[in-house]
Amino acid sequence: MATSLDASEAKVAEHKRPDRPTAMEHATPWLFVLPSVLLLLAVGLYPIGYTFVISFHNWTLGQAEPSFTALSNYVEVLTDGAFLDAVSRTMLLLAITLPIQLALGLGIALLLHTHFNKWLRTILQVVLVIPIAITPAVLGLLVQVMFDNQFGIINHALASIGIQGVNWLGDTTAAYTTVCIAQIWQWTPFAALVISASLATVPSEIEEAALLETSRWWPRFRRVLLPYLWPGITAVLVFQTAFVIKQFGMVYSIQKGGPGSATQLVMLEIERTAFRGFDIGAAAAQSILMLVLSILLAQTYIKLFYREAA
Amino acid sequence: MTAIKYSALAIAALATATTANTAQAWSLEEAAKPYEGTTITVVGLERPSYDAAQRLTSQFEKKTGINVEWTTFPYESSLKAQTLNFVSRSQQFDLILTDVVWPVTFVESGWVQPLSHFTNDEELVNPDLDLDDFVDIWRAAFSVDGELYGLPFDSYSGLLYYNKKMLKEAGFDGPPETWAELKDVYGPKLTDRDAGQYAFALQSAKGETQTADSFTRMLWPFGARYFDADAEEMTLTSDAAKRGIQYREDLAQYMPDGIVADNHSQVVQAMGQGRVAMITEWSAFYTTLKDSKIGDDLGIAVEPKGPDGRYSAFGGFAYMVSAQVPEARQDAGWLFAQWLTSKRMARPLIREGAVVARESANSDPEIQEEFPYLEPMLETWKTSSVPDWRPQLRCYPKFSELVSDWGTRIQLGDVSVDEGLQGMDKRLQRYMDQTDCWDTVNQPRKYMDAM
Amino acid sequence: MANEKLLKLLHGLAVVLILGIILFPPYWMVAASLKTESQLFAIPPHWLWDTTLQGYIDAFQQSPILSALWNSVWVTGAAVGLGLLVGAPAAYGISRYNFPGRKQIWFWYVTHWMLVPVVILIPFYLLAVNLGMINNPWILVLVYQVFVVPLVVWLMVDQFRSVPPVLEEAALLDGLSRFGVFVRISLPLVKPGIVVAGILAGIFAWNNLIYAFILTPAQGARTAPTIALSYLGGYKVPWTQVMASATLISAPVILGGIAVHKYMARGLTMGAVK
């Protein structure tokens, strides 16, 4: 155990070792943790268990009482196509936006880290908060206005530099692109801020020492800065993945997953199954599958990258 | 038919006369006495009719001492909110609002009371109720198994709006009579893509707009139907269906690009800015268009005819009384619905911006002059549409989603008209068979004949 | 040296470009809210126009935005308060003690952050119905904990870890209890963490749509973001009013975020528990 502790904790452990911990000492960490655990059991685990049970029942809201059907919801969900399409659409969004957000986020973080102009730096820091804070449903409305085929400022801007207007909302590929752009616009600043906070943890002596050692940028970045960045990058990965998987408000308010199902992400699909088709059993099965997928993703990130950090 | 109708009216008149003579005159104040202080919750939508109703509600409250609380939803979430209310038996709403496609769902689940539950109670029924004054198609639309369940309110029809000036400049004196004419004669003359001018725009956004406004609109006039309920078979691969949907594809050349993402607001906007010469939209958009830049040039007509005749879009709502709330709240709710949809309230409501299904008010020449959309709307209800223009079945929500999915794919060119219709037909057939939804199909057209 | 000047210039240009990209959409939103409808959709767009507050007047008069904003304010406040109350001690426990299951518990918190909302939404709806809490915004305070607590724990574990243990040891030797040390010594030292955790949790609670969409649909019980959705009926979209509402909905969290920006750099470190 001791090997996995970081420096500050090692000190605590060292200091404590002489006294044998009392029963009270054993219980203390749990006293700190317990309230939150109880709360999460109530609002998290219990409902999940309930949904898990429902997922094995055939239950269309308002049309019949729940009846046990074993795995048939899962079979239906996995063979119908609409759900898997929505999952792959969501994963594609993740695959497109994640690298871009990380790269841009890192770039902005490095801009912030470079102390050329204090004034500009402060402004940038302030402004980065804005996209994060904008209500996604509001952003969707704004996308509708800005990307409008006829009246939108985007097409107008394109036209003024001689590019033919794009049918942003009416064409399936363009509509999907619109969602990618909005997603990147909203969450890249978050990546930038987290990475920038990690950069701030790099002790300046170390950085200065490295500067003396080599003037080339890349080796300095890779060997000196990067190790400090891994936890932040992992956090960004987990957060952005969650933002994409949970994405609902922004896409819904652009055009509810349209045109057709071009931007029908997984949350929209589950909401549609549950509260438009009222097929609660199938929606429960879909939610459980997504839960499994997101746990796997989180675990992968953490295994992959926190090991790097060690 | 006419004879039967007349005699029915005569009997009604006689009955009214007798009641007036024998029993003491009915009054709302008197009828509401037992319910004074009761609070009822009424579902509304975020649309002009409900704004109008809310503005007038205090009159009812003053007269009766019944408190009316309005809860309004966007259309999109109203079915969800009401279904969840019933399923959870949470008694949130006393008066519920049903679209023309939902009555089966509410009725067969036993969530709502038939109107006879109240009309059989002399103390609750206004002698001036006159249900026959609701245009036939509306009574049919809210009847299930011959029994009436809802009092129509916020009632629309599809109409052809046209820009008189644009048509005139292109050499037309009036609007097209038929869909074919609209495409072949008006289309080319009114479309100038480089100038951003288009003959027509058909709102086709994902969801109910695609299903009802776009897809269904091209089925009926061309002689196509969704299904044959008695044979339990989908009929979307018929030649008529192909003709209709192919027509929609061909019409696209005279419409702006990206119509597949456009909702009501976009096409109304396009028309209001003078970029589109004609649209087929709900009667309720009259005010918006009248207030727009082209207001003075706005023309209104019945929707064009197809090879199979005239079948305009038909839609609207009705109030039903929840069967899950205590008796007193049901009665109070009934009194409010009866008052709101009464002949007497129809004119003030129209003037406040609402649309109602009352024939007497809608055919009043004085009101018609003020609101020129009333005449073509009434004509549509009487001669040019059917109550189940959108099919009435319990599983309509998912049915509509599937139509919307495939309908959009055809419009986007992902599949050909043939492939798309076949795919839609097959998917819907499987869905209807799996869910036993055939048993729940309501065919209100049958009641029309009896009216 | 010329090289450094060029670098400085490029750096400045890059920052200005980023500022432009980030600021334009919110600017366009606020501008749209101050135009009339025909100005809003004018081609070419109007860069100067006669400002009108009609959009805001309409928003206040025709939509329940005021009550929705108020609901959002207290729901967010209560949710963040509760989350900090239970989350901060949990983060402290995890960062200061090495107990069996600590790593698993931390991971368990993190997975809550990834939870697809519908997975708990259906049971919550039924529960709310049984407790008569449909349209009672307190249910939101409860359900928001599912993402507020993990966020608070995740952010604050790192913060507590950066507090030098010697400070706490000294206080312990002075006779303070563990809990006393937590409240009097450690908490004040992690103020940036508390502020950042609070504001971020607040942003996510404020902006949440799906729970409020289902659990508090009634007019008086709505939260601000659901007002944005009410314009999507597809029926008639009064765009200036929509943009005015959009501005009103977003402004409180944007201002809150800006107010605490200086804590971001120190408070947003999110480490791992190994």
Q: Which domains does chain B have, with CATH numbers?
A: 8-156+314-383 (3.40.190.10), 158-313+392-436 (3.40.190.10)
How far is it, in rounded angstroms, from Cα A76 to Cα A279?
A: 11
Task: Count the neighbouring beta carbons within 10 Å of the beta carbon of residue B384.
Answer: 21
Q: Which of B50, B210, B263 should one mutate to test binding to chain C, selecting the residue with the greatest count of C CBs within 10 A?
A: B263
Residues B389, B313: contact at Cβ < 8 Å? yes
Residues B40, B329: contact at Cβ < 8 Å? yes
Provide, as residue numbers in chain A, all residues whose Cβ is less than 8 Å from the Cβ of B270: 150
Q: Residue B263: what pLDDT?
A: 85
What is the percentage of chain B residues whose pLDDT exceeds 70? 94
Peptide bond before residue B376 is cis, with ω within 30 degrees of 0: no
Nearest to B265 among C132, C213, C237 (CB): C237
DSSP C116: -
Average pLDDT value for chain A: 84
How far is it, in rounded angstroms, from Cα C170 to Cα C120?
A: 45
Residues B258, A171: contact at Cβ < 8 Å? yes
pLDDT digits (tens, 9 = 90+) for C34-43: 988 778 877 7
Q: Residue B74: what pLDDT?
A: 80
HSE-up (13 A, CA, CB side) for residue C253: 31
Q: Residue A248: what pLDDT?
A: 93
Q: Residue C1: what pLDDT?
A: 53
Chain A contact for C20 (CB, 8 A cutoff):
no
pLDDT digits (tens, 9 = 90+) for A286-298: 999 999 998 898 8
Query: Can you tell me the mean pLDDT for B371-393?
Result: 94
Query: Can you tell me the mean pLDDT for C253-257?
Result: 90
Helix, strand, coil percent content, chain C, rounded in steps of 5:
75, 0, 25
How far is it, in rounded angstroms, from Cα B178 to Cα B159?
A: 13
Chain A contact for C108 (CB, 8 A cutoff):
yes
DSSP B324: S
Q: Residue A12: what pLDDT?
A: 44
Burial class (CB in 10 A: 0-12, 13-18, 19+), B164: middle
Query: Can you tell me the mean pLDDT for B138-155?
Result: 94
Q: Residue B2: what pLDDT?
A: 41
Choose the weakest-confidence range: B115-124, B301-310, C113-122. C113-122
A-B C-beta contacts closer than 8 Å: 79
Q: Which comes out higher in pLDDT, residue B313 or A276?
A: B313
Under an 8 A CB cutoff, do C118 and A306 touch? no
In this structure, which long-range contacts are made by residues C30-35, counting pairs with CB atoms below 8 Å and at least 24 apart in sequence?
C30/C243, C30/C247, C32/A145, C32/C239, C32/C240, C32/C243, C33/C240, C33/C243, C33/C244, C33/C246, C33/C247, C35/C240
Residue A8 confidence class, pLDDT cut points 50, 70, 90: very low
Nearest CA in chain C to B263: C234
Residue with tokens 């706490």: C168
Chain C contact for A44 (CB, 8 A cutoff):
yes
pLDDT digits (tens, 9 = 90+) for A160-202: 888 888 889 888 899 999 999 999 999 999 999 999 988 888 8
ipTM of the complex: 0.90
Chain C contact for B197 (CB, 8 A cutoff):
no
How far is it, in rounded angstroms, from Cα A157 to Cα A165?
A: 9
Residue B414 phi, psi (nearest 5)? -65, -35
Residues B77, B110: contact at Cβ < 8 Å? no
Peptide bond before residue A259 is cis, with ω within 30 degrees of 0: yes
Structure tokens of A64? 């019949």
Q: Is residue A103 predicted with pLDDT exceeding 70? A: yes
Q: Residue B157: what pLDDT?
A: 94
Under an 8 A CB cutoff, do A234 and C262 touch? no
Under an 8 A CB cutoff, do A171 and B394 touch? no
Q: Which chains have 3+ CB pairs within 8 A of B?
A: A, C
Torsion of CA B348, B390, B71, C65, to 10 degrees: -100
How far is it, in rounded angstroms, from Cα A219 to Cα A211?
A: 10
Under an 8 A CB cutoff, do B84 and A170 touch? no
Residue B1 confidence class, pLDDT cut points 50, 70, 90: very low
Under an 8 A CB cutoff, do C25 and A198 touch? no
pLDDT digits (tens, 9 = 90+) for B34-44: 999 999 999 99
Predicted TM-score (pTM) of the model is 0.83
DSSP C45: P
Closest CA to B386 of B445, B335, B308: B445
Query: Can you tell me the mean pLDDT for B409-422?
Result: 94
Q: Which comes out higher in pLDDT, residue C46 or B370?
A: B370
Q: Which chains have 3+ CB pairs within 8 A of A?
A: B, C
